[in-house]
C-alpha cells in the first residue's frame, strides 16, 4: 500500500484547456487531423508546465468542449502526441551522442597533436626552427582539443539533457480527456 501511495504522489498532472483540435495541431496545416503537425504553442505550453513540476511521471489532461468528444479522435491525438514526443526524444538522444562523439574526436586529435610535437622534438626529426614553428601551431591546437573535447563529453549542453528528459517523460505520459459543458 505504501508503494502505491508513493506512486500516486510521484504522478504530476498537467492540465491544459483547448477549444478546438487546432489548439493541439497546427491550424496552418490543411491536412486531415491524423496527419497534421503539432502546434508549437501547444508544445511550448507543455514544456512550460513541465518545468513547473519536473519530478515524477505525468498525466496530461486536456479539457475540451463537449462537442469535441469522440473516442476515435482521443485515441488518435494521444497516439500522435506520444509518437511526436518519442521521435523528439530519440532525436535529442542522437544529438547528445553526436556531441559526445565529437568530444572524443577533439580529445584524440589534441592528444595526437601533442604526441606528434613531442616525438619530433625528442627524436630531432626536423631542424630546431621548424620544430619551434610547428610547436606554435600544434601546442595550442593540442590543448584546445583536449579541454574542449572533455568539456563536450562531461558537460553536454544542459538544455539538451533537459529536453531529452522532457520528451522521454511526455512520450510515456498518460493523456486523458475531460469534457466541459460549453459556456461554463
Q: For the whole model, what pTM was predicted?
A: 0.81
The string of pLDDT tens digits covering residues 59-116 is 899 999 999 999 998 999 999 999 999 999 999 999 999 999 999 999 999 999 999 9
Do residues 100 and 85 share a domain? no
Do residues 27 and 101 share a domain? no
The string of pLDDT tens digits covering residues 26-57 is 888 888 888 889 999 999 998 888 887 666 77
- Conformational region of residue 183, where left means phi above 0, alpha means psi within -120 to 50, and beta covers everything else: left
Let me know if residue 165 belongs to a domain: no
Let me know if residue 68 belongs to a domain: yes
pLDDT of residue 98: 96
Do residues 86 and 97 share a domain? no
DSSP state of 24: T
Determine contact, residues 153/178, Cβ cutoff 8 Å. Answer: no
Do residues 32 and 80 share a domain? yes
Do residues 69 and 17 share a domain? yes
Which residue segment(s) compose the domain that 131 sits in?
93-159
Backbone angles phi, psi at 179, to 5 degrees: -115, 145
pLDDT of residue 6: 44
The string of pLDDT tens digits covering residues 131-172 is 999 999 999 999 999 999 999 999 888 888 889 999 999 999
In the predicted structure, residue 1 carries a pLDDT above the cut 60: no
Let me know if residue 166 belongs to a domain: no
**How many Å apart are CA 66 and CA 68, to the nearest integer?**
5
Amino acid at each position: 500500500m505504501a508503494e502505491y501511495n508513493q506512486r500516486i504522489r510521484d504522478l504530476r498532472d498537467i492540465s491544459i484547456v483547448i477549444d478546438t483540435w487546432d489548439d493541439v495541431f497546427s491550424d496552418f496545416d490543411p491536412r486531415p487531423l491524423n496527419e497534421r503537425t503539432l502546434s508549437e504553442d501547444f508544445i511550448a505550453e507543455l514544456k512550460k508546465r513541465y518545468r513547473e513540476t519536473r519530478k515524477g511521471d505525468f498525466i496530461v489532461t486536456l479539457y475540451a468542449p463537449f462537442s469535441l468528444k469522440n473516442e476515435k479522435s482521443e485515441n488518435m491525438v494521444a497516439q500522435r502526441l506520444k509518437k511526436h514526443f518519442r521521435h523528439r526524444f530519440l532525436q535529442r538522444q542522437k544529438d547528445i551522442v553526436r556531441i559526445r562523439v565529437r568530444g572524443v574526436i577533439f580529445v584524440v586529435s589534441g592528444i595526437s597533436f601533442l604526441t606528434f610535437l613531442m616525438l619530433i622534438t625528442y627524436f630531432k626529426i626536423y631542424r630546431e626552427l621548424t620544430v619551434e614553428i610547428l610547436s606554435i601551431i600544434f601546442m595550442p591546437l593540442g590543448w584546445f582539443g583536449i579541454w574542449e573535447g572533455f568539456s563536450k563529453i562531461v558537460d553536454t549542453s544542459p538544455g539538451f539533457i533537459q529536453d531529452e528528459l522532457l520528451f522521454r517523460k511526455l512520450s510515456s505520459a498518460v493523456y486523458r480527456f475531460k469534457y466541459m459543458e460549453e459556456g461554463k
